[in-house]
Structure 1
Amino acid sequence: MDTIPAAVTTAAPELKAKHAAMWAMGDYPAVAREVIPALGPRLVDAVGVAAGERVLDIAAGDGNASIPAAERGASVVASDLTPALLEAGRAKSAGAGLDITWQAADAEALPFDDGAFDVAISCVGLMFAPFHAPVAAELTRVVRRGGRIGLIAWTTEGFIGQMFAAMKPFAPPPPEGAQPPVLWGDEEHVRELLRERVELRLAREQLDVSAFASGAAFRDFFKATYGPTIAAYRAIAEQPERVAELDAALAELGDRHLEDGLMRWEYLLTTGTVR
């Protein structure tokens, strides 16, 4: 299995290090495996990945979209900022007998040539890079003319967007100038970022989540596995009354969205052809 040396990050390396460390907290592969496993295959299907195509998965995590793309016979490079997730993905793909290249890379400064890929995808991944304009520029730069992009991002109005809103008063402040991740789930924002380079198709869809029996079960799972939630709790760890407030807010959010054992989490599916 091929491994390429990590790319050198030239902008705000201390911020990148903090970001990578946050996603190494907990157990994000458990989130991908137990809560959102349908998203990767949905994205690969929506963008029409085919055998023999060169595919880049940006902010790939442990391969939620990379693995189904490789299963179609594509030549896949799975990139991520977090070494722990790359290692998890490398083990996962090796166990499945898939030849995927796992590479450390920054979505804001990708270490690939112009037009190097037929397809670039990201499944609730690149949305978390703090500065959207360079991400959009890099996303389109590395795809050949006539190639395709495919993105899945949580919306502001959907469950995960509401979760981030609930956590915001408790979480560490974002870096200066950073844009909220859920803006990648806003149609107008995506059009503003990409319409000059991509013929876009946008659709809101819902993910059915049946992993949780109660709002408290959702909260406890995310407290243990999901980097941004863990970071929010660590920021208030010495304030038990604040911890209790966040506990109550997340459990209430989960209960409010749970109906007959099912939650529906909204996301924006962006696909398009690079001009």
Structure 2
Amino acid sequence: MTALSSTVAAPQAAPATPDFPAIKARQKATWASGDYAVVGTTLQIVGETVCEAADLRAGETVLDVAAGNGNATLAAARRWCEVTSTDYVPALLERGRERAAAERLHGIEFREADVEALPFDDARFDAVLSTFGCMFAPNPPRTASEMLRVCRPGGRIAMANWTPEGFIGQVFKTVGKHVPPPAGVSSPAMWGTRDRIVALFGDEATKIDTQTRQFMFRYRSAEHMLEVFRGYYGPILKAFAALDADGQAALAEDLVAQMHRFDKGGDRGLVVASDYLEIVITRR
């Protein structure tokens, strides 16, 4: 008679519950470091195309969440909308104010606010916009719920979010290998997938349109791009600050190699193609 043996699996530890207040405090400090506006202003064309995708009309009320230095804000104001521009980093809102004043754009209110706890009434806005902003909030279901709440029935939520396989998505992955992200928090690049958008917004949407587009980062060289990102783009600045000299050299080498891998510019300057998902959600 053969004895039967069984293997009992060791109990697995429960998944870590993210400490959202602590994560958000660190994120706020990250985005307040450097000067994101130096990088952000190069992305202005995406604010314009998102406003076109949302089919904004003059006189509509528009909320720009996690607005940064105001790319979508300014684009909506150029279309004669009544715009509320929000971010939880006051210095970034100030950059938006400066740009609006320089262009003599009116009808914009700049207001400090967290996308996960928006200080606005239900159904307050005709359209809610985000260009590479809301995707960084640590609690995606809460973020989506707030964006839906303040958008009126029949209104639109329009976003541009970096994809996981595109250049910036791969930058997140590379940085994460050197400086691990907080436990329990998913990659912000998951906002650049249709599946994640449908999961977050589908129950409250009558239609979700998505299209993959490309933004071209244009710099003198990979070394120039690294210099700018390392000096001004908070997440990269903070990643380098967390490493010793050897770690910084390794991260720099990996990022430069990645820039070369996505480069389409050849010998006429760096042209890095980065995929993003353009999304327009019609609110139920």
TM-score, L = length of structure 1: 0.91
AA aligned to 2:195 is E
The answer to whether the 8 A contact 1:223-1:229 is kept is yes
| Aligned counterpart in structure 1 of residue 27 of structure 2, from 12, 19, 29 | 19
Quote how far apart the aligned CAs of 1:55 are.
0.1
User: Between Structure 1 and Structure 2, whose CA radius of gyration is higher?
Assistant: 2
CA displacement, residues 178-232 of structure 1 (integer Å, 9 cap, x when unaligned): 22110100111111111111121111111123x2132222211110111100110
AA aligned to 2:104 is G
Quote how far apart the aligned CAs of 1:18 are.
2.2
Quote how far apart the aligned CAs of 1:109 are.
1.0
Task: Confirm whether residue 165 of structure 1 aligns to residue 173 of structure 2.
Answer: yes
The answer to whether the 8 A contact 1:214-1:258 is kept is no
| Aligned counterpart in structure 1 of residue 273 of structure 2, from 252, 260, 264 | 264
Partner residue, 1:126 = 134
The answer to whether the 8 A contact 2:210-2:277 is kept is yes
Between the two proteins, the alignment pairs up a number of residues equal to: 260
AA aligned to 2:212 is R
Quote how far apart the aligned CAs of 1:172 are.
5.2
CA displacement, residues 82-140 of structure 1 (integer Å, 9 cap, x when unaligned): 11101111121122212311111111111110000000000000000011000010111
Identical amino acids, percent of aligned pairs: 38
The answer to whether the 8 A contact 1:110-1:138 is kept is yes
Quote how far apart the aligned CAs of 1:240 are.
1.1
Task: Confirm whether residue 40 of structure 1 aligns to residue 42 of structure 2.
Answer: no
1: CA distance between counterparts of 2:92 and 2:24?
Answer: 15
Query: Structure 2, unaligned stretches of length 5 or more?
Result: 1-18
Cα RMSD for the two superposed structures: 1.4
The answer to whether the 8 A contact 1:160-1:265 is kept is yes
Quote how far apart the aligned CAs of 1:264 are.
1.1
In structure 2, the residue corresponding to 1:37 is in which secondary structure?
Answer: helix
| Aligned counterpart in structure 2 of residue 208 of structure 1, from 194, 197, 216 | 216
Task: Confirm whether residue 230 of structure 1 aligns to residue 227 of structure 2.
Answer: no
1: CA distance between counterparts of 2:98 and 2:24?
Answer: 24
Partner residue, 1:114 = 122
AA aligned to 2:251 is L
Quote how far apart the aligned CAs of 1:13 are.
4.4
